[in-house]
Amino acid sequence: MQRVHLKPGSQTRRPRPETRTGRDCLFCRHSDPNFAMRAAQDRLVTSNEDDSATAHMTENGYVQHRSLEVRMRLAVTTGSWQHVA
């Protein structure tokens, strides 16, 4: 890092974390029987938000969450609720 980016009087900066902190999406964990097979990043939502699709850290996690929501709505409207897969 060049000296230009350092604060005056500080020779070193604390390194920023590479990834945001997160936790498993509870909605996906309870609704998706293949949740454990997902990539670790696709399971995570930002820890300061609710379990929504937009809180997912990856685009793939977002799409899988939305897909589960659509399948659950279809199952409820048709009256054939089963574990969505």
**pLDDT for the residue 32:** 94
Q: Which parts of the chain sit beneath pLDDT 70?
A: 1-20, 80-85
First to last CA, the chain: 48
**pLDDT for the residue 42:** 94
Burial class (CB in 10 A: 0-12, 13-18, 19+), 72: middle
Alpha helices in 13-58 (DSSP H): 26-31, 40-43
**pLDDT for the residue 1:** 46
Other Cβ atoms closer than 10 A to 75: 14
